[in-house]
Amino acid sequence: MTTVILAEKPDQARSYAAVFKQTTKQKGYITIQDPRFFKGEAIMTWGIGHLVELCLPGHYKKEWKRWNLANLPILPEQVEFQVPRSKQEQFNIVKNWLKKATTIIIATDPDREGENIARSIIKQAGVRNHVPIKRLWINSQENDVVREGFLQLQPGEKFLPMYEEAKARQVADWLVGMNASPLYSLLLQTKGVQDTFSVGRVQTPTLYLIYLRQKEIEAFVSEPFFELKANVDASGGTFQASLKQRLKTKEDVTTLLEKHGIKGKTPGVISELTKKNKEIPSPLLHSLSTLQATANRKWKYSPSTVLKIMQKLYEKKWLTYPRTESNHITQAEFSYLRKNVTGYQQLLESPFEPAYLYPRKRYVNDAKVQEHYAIIPTKKIPTASQVEKLRQDERNLYLEVVKTTLAMFAPPYKVEETKVTVDVQGLAFHTTGKIEQALGWKELFQSSKSKKKEDEQVLPPLEKGEPIQAMVKAKEGKTQPPAYYTEGQLIPLMKTAGKFVEDEEEQAILNEVTGIGTGATRANIIETLKSREYITINKNSVYVTPKGKILCEAVEGNLLSKAEMTAQWELFLRKIGQGEKDSATFISNIHTYIHRLLTDAPSHVKTMKLDTSTIDTSESAGIGPCPLCGAAVVQRGPVFACSKSKENNCKFVIVKRLAKKTLTEGMVKRLLTKGETAVLKGFKSKAGKSFSAALVLKEGKVEFDFTKKPTYRKKNRTNIKSSQAKG
């Protein structure tokens, strides 16, 4: 009997293995002897994320290797998968054990993508269908949760529709990308744009939403306006109230004041006075998206940075599974959190009398938890010194989650809100004042740096019907355009994309599936938009680049620019996941869409009027001369290529990412002009070993030169000593 456990990555496998009795680490796997869980030998092995990927177009047909409008569409009859060379060694280890397995336990991340990763590996390994498959489905890597999970494994076939759904989405995204990217790149080249464009179902609508906001800002025309402010003298003190109406001109101000006989200090009366005690509950528990938005607002962390940190804290067993869309937990999680309240309080040095030791539906709702519950602390409570040893960004995020969770048990934030209306000769001026009565849960988030909002007015004692004196003045202002999105706002923007959709059914679908993208993919989508140079971030504000604007103009009016495409996909994909629809029909519909895209896109791009001043005009000079034909070499997306490749079929190209090192424009320029570079560090072999080498051009091809010796600059020792003395 050989049980093979397939984890998603090495750290995850090591974490799982820690709960078993006898384990031995081997190359690429861990042997386990533990009769409490397994009859006979158990093998824990792992992927490195995706060990299996879709084959590139050139795998199917030679002519699909090069982008050419005549060769579109790229629609393989049957998609095939391959193992990248860099992961072949680990795949062979996994395959060897899977072929020997009498039982397979899928222990990848508990989500659709995790299911897809595992099933793709199992299928590529050629495992026979009769081998039973079980599923580990847990939301925490704590030892007791892992033990319980292995004792209560679920039948693998229960999750098979989830794999079919994920695979259908993966294939459809590949088909759209592999056709739309060359299509728009080649069409835009006919308009003089010598660049490559990446187009995708989620990244392109997201870019387009950012573009629409920027267009609105750029088209905005600021207009002056006037507000009337009343400085009010009451018997108990002074305060300020405002007229809700905005006036356009000084003449309008004068006319209105004269109409009501207001000049200098004018008598009035407190016409309305209402006081209301409010109890404000603590924030919802964090999902990944709310945590990403909060971290960006507080500390300017990017969404991808937050996800990486959360993954580390999950693997440390301090926090639960991070890639969740839920803000709720179940009764089971609430039970252990309640037991640990004192421990969390001691960690934060925040003693308070818990006000809610029973579950409230705002936070605890089994019906609203599907695959994963909200991000919360685990039962493992670190010491204060352990928290202090964390990096600052890790500490910030860990404490944010602990505080938000602990706030669920804390007393409410209580305020007395007073709304006042002042009647001055028939004009109604309004103001609101708040008095904090009890900070409650807010004390958890107080810090020495916290500042009270200056715009929160403290009102003097007032009575309804009380006479007052008011000095009314006009304050000039200007209308302001909407603000640029911040990087943290892009996550909620993607989540709420449904509000930009007109069709009510599609809007409802997007609201139900929480917008476009998933908790696991949205951060990567933002990074893709940055790496493709479609957007740029400056002081946390997001701007669409000229290249991004060109793509948005090209896809305008097409489904590729709209969130509706995701709504239509998700409706069908959900039914695949529920076993009601088949993936073959879905992929057939994608084929139909691509054929329509190939018909519609050329006519739209042809009518585009591009502002050529925004296009990079360095094409003629380029980075350097092409060694094959003498034309300019230019950067085109992930490669440096001959600018005349289309006209004279020149095939010269240098990949930007060579042996896992990114070549800079300066390196390539020296290579093209001098035929060689200096010795460069940072290359990596297929086996993962680092090496240094010079690059040389031989017959139009780039080769490594290991004979050249590195040059070292002599340091000025006197200057070093001098600087040390000064330091």
* Short-list 70, 76, 71, CA closest to 55: 76
C-alpha distances (whole Å) from 384 to each of 345, 349, 443, 446, 659 are 11, 9, 19, 18, 43
User: Which residues, other chains included, contact 405 with Cβ-Cβ below 8 Å and sequence gap of 6+?
Assistant: 285, 337, 344, 376, 377
* Short-list 410, 335, 444, CA closest to 379: 335
Please give the angle made by the CA atoms of 157, 173 and 315, to the nearest 5 degrees.
60
Helix/strand/coil (H/E/C) assignment for every residue in 565-592: HHHHHHHHHHHHHCCCCCHHHHHHHHHH
Q: Identify the burial level of 625 via C-beta atoms within 10 angstroms of its C-beta, where 0-12 means exposed, 13-18 middle and 19 or more buried.
A: middle
Element counts in the chain: helices (H) and strands (E): 22, 26
- Unique residue bearing structure tokens 């498959």: 133
Q: How far is CA 404 from the centre of its chain?
A: 21
Amino acid making up residue 30:
I
Q: Does the annotation mark 321 as catalytic? A: yes
Which among 321, 373, 398, 593 is annotated as catalytic?
321
Element (H, E) at 280: strand 265-280
Element (H, E) at 341: helix 341-348
How far is Cα 481 from Cα 458, in angstroms, rounded to an integer?
A: 30
Sheet holding 690-698, edge to edge: 680-684, 690-698, 701-705
First to last CA, the chain: 66
Amino acid making up residue 651:
K
Is the CB of residue 183 less than 8 Å from the CB of residue 165? no
- Residue 349 — left, alpha, or beta (φ > 0 → left; ψ -120 to 50 → alpha)? left
- Catalytic residues, which ones? 321
